[in-house]
A and B are shown apart, each in its own frame.
Chain A
Amino acid sequence: MRIISKMGAGLAAVTMTAGIALAGNANQIVVDGSTTVGPVAKAFAEYYMGKHPGVNITVSESGSGNGAKSLINAACDVATMSRAMKNSEVKAAQDAGVLPIEKVVAMDGLSVIVHPSNPVANLTLAQIRDIYTGKIANWKDLGGPDQAIVIISRDTNSGTYESFQTLVMNQAKLTGKAEYVGSNGAVRQRVMSTPAAIGYVGLAFTEGVKALQVNGVEATPETVTAKTYPISRALYMYTNGRPKEGTPLFDFVNFCDTPEGMKIIQDTGFVVKK
């Protein structure tokens, strides 16, 4: 008898906690997706939680592709992406009853980075394409030292990879020698420790590496805004449907339009959209 009554009490406790947990959901924002948008999303979350202690915002950086999948499976509230959603993803979302709403958060330039010891300072888009298709395999063909080029790319789940494919590669296939790594930070570290390496990352990840000029233009906030830097792109946040005004979700997604949000975007190294 005692055991049964104990179990009953336990069950009641479980239902109660479950009830509280469900009630608490409005104050929880789950952010998943791009590693490029990561620094901005994390800083937004921190700032917002500082102002609203009752809200818990979790941020994962698993790649834009995973962010989209997560949103389609209704497993996140905000998918951060460093590329626009593909038609196939939008379709999959609609089939799953999710209506992806796009919000441009900031602008970003894809920096092509090399080791600081590399004398090469400028590459044309065509040269970068040739490096990544394997046509140019040695730095000496680009006016550099006689060293085989170590090609670092993001993994195919990455929005940065997709942007690079569209903006630079014209969807040409990457050489089989390319090395795929899982995040912007990892590309940067790989290039930092490998003298003959080349890689591409978002603007916020160029500390300690040498960012090349592309077609003679340096990637700066000004050239990205003016679109004179040839590989510029937008960074996005996607939500399921338009968030209701006044909700934490609405505030979070639209935080990039506030003066504080713009300052954070600049301070993390990205470019405020016009």
Chain B
Amino acid sequence: MRLQTRKVLDRAFAGSGIMAIALMVLALVILLAPMFVRGAGAIFFTGTVEHRRIMLEKFERGDRAAVEAEDRAARTAREPVYRDLAAFEKSLAEGDAATRRKYGKPLHDLKKAIHTLLGPAPDEVRPMLMRDQYGQARWDRAQVKLAQVLYREDWDYSDPTRAGIKRLKPRAADFVGTPIEGLFSYVERNLDKMLLPRRTVYWQFLTDDSYDSHFFGGIWPELLGTFYLTVGALLFAVPMGLIAAIYLTEYAPDNRWTRLLRTCISTLAGVPSIVFGLFGLAFFINTIHVSESKSVLAGSMTLALMVLPTVIRAAEEAIRAVPATFKEAALSLGAGRWHAVRSVILPAALPGILTGIVISMGRAAGETAPIIFTAAVSVGKPLALWQTLTQATPALSWNIFNLATEHEAVDEIRHVQYGMVLVLVSLVLILNLAAIVLRARIARRMRA
């Protein structure tokens, strides 16, 4: 091949390499950027007076006098709304039946929409569910709910051969000529006075318990659960994995059985995680009863099984990468085999082993399938350490799935879901960063 052609080919390869990497970075940005932006919305947002009331009443946080003063101001601004509604309702009750029928349903829907936006009326019996006890705590959600107060969805089905067309009908049109006609523009103009929006930083999202199945509060039970499960998995997987790796590299004879064993371990690494999950349920819970029901213990053991092959393979590779001369030198100085492993080979292999462990940690933290049947629940308290032996816990990965699919009010609590995603992704990123830093440090020390 001519020199010129070779050069061109070379450049073409370098160029496509750069392209590939650029595409990857772009994909990563497209993937991560919205995740971070929307996830940050769980912590940084414009909170209303309702948010501050929740903080005060449920967590005893904030300046009581200030919040109560705000609450009074908000109530004063809301007062005309409730007054007009009550007056209209009274006049309806005293009026004729036809008018009552005409306004019955629209009024009922309107009251519901206002309740969702501003919370229960002052004279209303305190509702049971916390989601009904407060108005909108976030200004962005309040805007959505305001639109639902001002407009109602109306579907035009006049042409049955085609799908209906959505029309937003102003509710005000339903009440023309009634005393509450002016209520709508009042609500629209004075919403900020009724809810008093303010920039809010809610760091405690990470450390607060959840209230009313994630409608309010934070994600502490999930965060703690993920932590327990991950650490628990490593407690089982690391010692076993290390011992297995040392045995396989230093002690096991190199015969057909050992090779078969290695193949088995590699295969185990490729087994889908849901299979581990079902195995964990069938074996740990239903057969050997490590706990009566789902528990962090059973979940950790299942996760440990799942990451064990990774730990073994990483440790094996790392140990194999230690130059044979290290071991030979140690043995020639009279060290026993175990002594050589402990004082020469393991320290030299440590960076590789640690990388394997930290990557496994990230995987254990993020996996959902192994813990569905063995450890994870939708709702539960944060556990004390000793409770992990017998009790199940919410965990980030599972609860993200739960909030995204099963939860009855998915759209109301998207921010919680995104917040959980952000925390989980950050957790895994931090773990991976820690692996890189740790590895670099140890490698530097080894060279010195």
Contact = CB atoms under 8 A, between A and B. Distances in A.
B55 to A, nearest CB: 17
Interface in B146-201: 153, 155, 157, 160-166
B405 A43 contact: no
A189 B389 contact: no
Interface string A42-63: 1101110100000011111110
A184 B389 contact: no
Given A21-B390, A46-B213, A263-B128, A186 B164 contact: no
Nearest to B285: A75
Contact of A183 (B293, B294, B405): B405
A231 to B, nearest CB: 19
B164 to A, nearest CB: 4
Contacts of A59: 377-380
A143 interface: yes
B408 A204 contact: yes
Interface string B117-135: 0000000000111101000
A195 interface: yes
Interface of A: 17-18, 20-22, 24-25, 28, 30, 32, 35, 38-39, 42-43, 45-47, 49, 56-62, 70, 73-77, 115-119, 121, 140, 143-147, 182-186, 189, 195, 204-205, 207-208, 260, 263-264, 267-269
A61 B378 CA distance: 7
A269 B372 CA distance: 27
Contacts of B409: 207
Given A43-B212, A183-B406, A260-B128, A117 B155 contact: yes
Given A22-B390, A70-B293, A186-B405, A116 B377 contact: no
Contacts of B162: 145
A268 B128 CA distance: 10
A73 B283 CA distance: 12
Given A184-B406, A264-B128, 11 more contacts: A39-B213, A45-B379, A58-B393, A59-B379, A73-B285, A117-B155, A119-B157, A119-B164, A145-B160, A185-B406, A189-B410
Given A38-B378, A58-B377, A73-B286, A116 B166 contact: yes
Nearest to A72: B286
Contact of A140 (B161, B386, B391): B161
Contacts of A268: 129, 408
16 contacts: A42-B378, A46-B379, A47-B128, A60-B377, A62-B373, A116-B164, A117-B163, A117-B164, A119-B163, A143-B160, A146-B161, A182-B406, A189-B405, A207-B408, A260-B128, A263-B127
Contacts of A20: 386
Contacts of B161: 140, 144-146
B390 to A, nearest CB: 5
B391 A58 contact: yes
B408 A38 contact: yes
Nearest to B132: A267
B405 A60 contact: no
B392 interface: yes
B155 A116 contact: yes
Contacts of B157: 119, 121
Contacts of A116: 153, 155, 164, 166
Contact of B165 (A57, A60, A117, A143): A117
Closest 3 CB pairs between A and B? A119-B157, A58-B380, A183-B406
Nearest to B373: A62
Contact of B408 (A58, A121, A205): A205
A117 B292 CA distance: 48
Contact of B390 (A25, A32, A76): A25
Nearest to B381: A56
B411 interface: yes
Contact of A21 (B285, B386, B393): B386
Among A21, A45, A269, which residue has the most Cβ atoms of chain B within 10 A? A21
Interface of B: 127-130, 132, 153, 155, 157, 160-166, 211-213, 285-286, 292-294, 372-373, 376-381, 383, 385-387, 389-393, 402, 405-411
Nearest to B165: A117
B189 to A, nearest CB: 28
Which of B161, B211, B406 lies at the interface centre, i.e. has the most chain A CB atoms within 10 A of its CB?
Answer: B406
Contacts of B402: 61
A60 B410 CA distance: 17
B220 to A, nearest CB: 14
B418 to A, nearest CB: 16
B129 A60 contact: no
B379 A21 contact: no
Nearest to A260: B128
A61 B160 CA distance: 39
Nearest to A259: B128
Contacts of A121: 157
Name which of A57, A60, A119, A121 has the most chain B CB atoms within 10 A of its CB: A60
Contact of B293 (A24, A76, A207): A76
A118 B164 contact: yes
Contacts of B390: 21-22, 24-25, 28
Contacts of A21: 386-387, 389-390
A117 B166 contact: yes
Contacts of B293: 30, 32, 70, 74-77
A189 B408 CA distance: 10
A177 B210 CA distance: 40
A56 B406 contact: no
A74 B285 CA distance: 10
Given A21-B387, A208-B411, A145 B285 contact: no
A201 to B, nearest CB: 10
Contacts of B393: 58
A43 B214 CA distance: 11
A211 B160 CA distance: 18
B327 to A, nearest CB: 26
Contacts of A115: 163
A118 B380 contact: no
A77 to B, nearest CB: 8
